[in-house]
Chains A and B, each alone.
Chain A
Amino acid sequence: MKKTLELVKMNIGQIREGLLKKDFSALELTRAFLERIEQEDKEIGSYLTVCQETALSQAKEVDDMILEKREIPYLAGIPSAIKDNILVKDIRCTAGSKILENYIAPYDATCVKKLKKEKTVILGKTNLDEFAMGSSTENSAFYPAKNPWDKSRVPGGSSGGSAAAVAKGLCAFALGSDTGGSIRQPAAFCGAAGLKPTYGTVSRYGLIAFASSLDQIGVIAKNVQDLKAVFEVIKGKDKMDSTSVDTSLKEKKGKRDVQRLKAGIPKEYLVKGMEEGVERAVKEAIKKCQEQGIRIEEISLPHTEYALAVYYIIAPSEASANLARYDGIKYGSFQARSQVKDLQEFYFKTRGQGFGKEVRRRIMIGAYALSAGYYEAYYLRAQKVRTLIKNDFKEAFQKVDLILSPCAPTTAFKIGEKITDPLSMYLSDIFTVSVNLAGLPAVSLPCGRADNLPVGLQIIGRPFEEDTIFEFAQFCEKIWTQ
């Protein structure tokens, strides 16, 4: 049997091959991952809950299937992790918040149901910024996750636990959610591949809502092939999410010649404040594409500089409405019930004590932006500028097939560096939020290093053209490693 370190380094394709060739069993594989979590995760903090028993029994089932010579689905036996704002039945789901500290999920999210049907092994639930609000995983109510490349640095966020777990070999792939960059930025910081699909392609049923017009479930994995394999399983129309889309009607048939693709670089994205090393790594990666015959041209997304402001009105506004449900009655952790005199006080205390600082801050911004007298000045105006941002992309995609940019303006920053200044933290999402506002698909792909820390290239595509992104990204993987 292979050693733990060899097992946990494998990608999905390699694991599948090993299982089918009986190099190792699913049980051995799952044990190796659980052992590694036990040894390494105290320092990384990527998991909030580890589901040892269910993981082992899921693995056993796969071994039985193999033993009986039954055909196994593509993701069968693959050890995965699920961001802790996505429900897995009978497993605690905290959303990184004290207010849901003891919440046991009463049903499976649709994407989890689909993974279970594939016989995927679920190792546990990963750490995140509380309610997915943050860019560093420091806002987790339990403990911050750390970057496997440098433990004094953040793994990014909010899906920081998922990205760190993939990078450290604590799972083969992980599900995350992305509202303004929460899959792509941590993937970039940890040197993993991340996919934020087109809005609506993956059902949000069972995802704890943050900002419903922006939220999308996606994947963090070791390479593009794996992103694609998981995406194929979790996507699709779901009657439990009326915004989900039947993508089979929208997909373009037939492969395209990658080398005939045209990619655009938005001139507005080469902003001041970008780290020199990040800029250099991204430019070098793009140059290599150019040398291979990819046509690159400069494009313009004129409303880029307003995207972050639009996002920080729309996302908190939707959040303040979505988080109104945490009243401490249907679920909640507030203990001192007997000490309050009426329902009103009960609400104030439950919410004041149950939500962390950043969540309270965002609820406040949202409540303000939606309140009488300010709605038009803030929320409505932001929605109109959102239209202009969306139109910028539409126009750009008339000229090019893909848009390339850095994923974040810096590499992973130090723990504590930005936590006291919310605005500087928000700026780490500057290249990713527009994509959510426009509902587009995007992949973050490791493209180089700056000061020995991973840098990610963001590849944005037209709505429902994930396949074009995958083909291009796989092409990049090949030429960058040459």
Chain B
Amino acid sequence: MLSKEQIKHIAQLARLELEDKEIESLKKELSSILDYVEKLKEVDISGVEPTSHPFLLKNVMREDEVEEFKNKKGLFQAAPELKEGYFKVKKIL
């Protein structure tokens, strides 16, 4: 079973604000999911290569040419706050 501290640590990594009540329920739910995936430990994986994609991928190369995205306005309109054509963010320090 995951501890409350572990849940808080994962939430920290994932940048998720969680209420206390949810931390409790996540403790149970995550633990039961992790118990279920424990069964992967039964499998003999010695010498097996990992699959990260269904098919072997090759690097796809193209000319490094700048293409103007035509609907810049559309891109920016999704942002909640803009200033002088830039995304506005809260102070970092």
Instruction: State whether B15 touches A306 (Cβ < 8 A).
Output: no
B88 to chain A, nearest CB (A): 8
Could you tell me the dominant secondary structure of chain B's interface residues? loop
Instruction: State whether B71 touches A303 (Cβ < 8 A).
Output: no
Bound-complex Cα distance A103 to B80 (A): 10
Instruction: State whether A337 touches B81 (Cβ < 8 A).
Output: yes
Instruction: State whether B51 touches A383 (Cβ < 8 A).
Output: yes
Bound-complex Cα distance A373 to B39 (A): 19
Instruction: State whether A386 touches B18 (Cβ < 8 A).
Output: no
Instruction: State whether B39 touches A242 (Cβ < 8 A).
Output: no
Q: Which of A104, A106, A343, A364 contacts B91 (CB 8 A)?
A: A343
**Interface residue tally of chain A, by bracket?**
35 or more
Query: Contacting chain B: which of A14-22, A76-84, A282-290, A346-354?
Result: A346-354
Instruction: State whether B14 touches A199 (Cβ < 8 A).
Output: no
Bound-complex Cα distance A289 to B10 (A): 51
Q: Which of B14, B36, B50, B54 contacts A364 (CB 8 A)?
A: B14
Of chain A, the residue at the smallest CB distance from B62 is A239
A331/B60 contact (C-beta < 8 A), A312-B36, A342-B90, A390-B54 known: no
Residue interface bits A347-377, CB-to-B below 8 A is 1, else 0: 1110111010100110111111001000000
Q: Which of B29, B32, B75, B88 has the most CB of A within 10 A?
A: B29
Instruction: State whether B33 touches A243 (Cβ < 8 A).
Output: no
Q: Which of A105, A345, A367 contacts B10 (CB 8 A)?
A: A367
Instruction: State whether B29 touches A422 (Cβ < 8 A).
Output: yes
Q: Which of A305, A320, A343, A363 contacts B90 (CB 8 A)?
A: A343
B47 to chain A, nearest CB (A): 9
Of chain B, the residue at the smallest CB distance from A387 is B51
Q: Which residues of B contact A106 (CB under 8 A)?
A: 71, 74-75, 77-78
Of chain A, the residue at the smallest CB distance from B79 is A330
Instruction: State whether A387 touches B78 (Cβ < 8 A).
Output: no
Q: Which residues of A contact B78 (CB under 8 A)?
A: 102-104, 106, 330-331
**Interface residue tally of chain B, by bracket?**
35 or more
Instruction: State whether A312 touches B43 (Cβ < 8 A).
Output: no
Q: Is A157 an interface residue (CB 8 A)?
A: no
Q: Which residues of B contact A348 (CB under 8 A)?
A: 15-17
Q: Which residues of B contact A207 (CB under 8 A)?
A: none
Instruction: State whether A422 touches B10 (Cβ < 8 A).
Output: no
Instruction: State whether B51 touches A381 (Cβ < 8 A).
Output: no
Instruction: State whether A381 touches B40 (Cβ < 8 A).
Output: yes
Bound-complex Cα distance A384 to B39 (A): 14
Q: Is A131 an interface residue (CB 8 A)?
A: no
Of chain A, the residue at the smallest CB distance from B9 is A371
Q: Is B37 an interface residue (CB 8 A)?
A: yes
Q: Is B89 an interface residue (CB 8 A)?
A: yes
B46 to chain A, nearest CB (A): 9
Residues of A in contact with B (beta carbons under 8 Å apart): 89-90, 102-107, 199-200, 213, 239, 242-243, 245, 303, 305-306, 308-310, 312-313, 320, 324, 327-334, 337, 340-343, 345-349, 351-353, 355, 357, 360-361, 363-368, 371, 378, 380-388, 390, 422-423, 426, 437-440, 463
The 7 closest A-B pairs by CB, nearest first: A439-B54, A352-B17, A106-B74, A383-B50, A331-B78, A348-B17, A367-B14
Other contacts beyond A312-B33, A312-B37, A438-B54: 5, CB < 8 A: A200-B54, A332-B79, A361-B26, A365-B33, A367-B13
Show 6 residue pairs from A and B whose CB-CB distance is below 8 angstroms, ordered by the A residue.
Answer: A242-B60, A306-B43, A331-B80, A357-B22, A385-B48, A387-B48
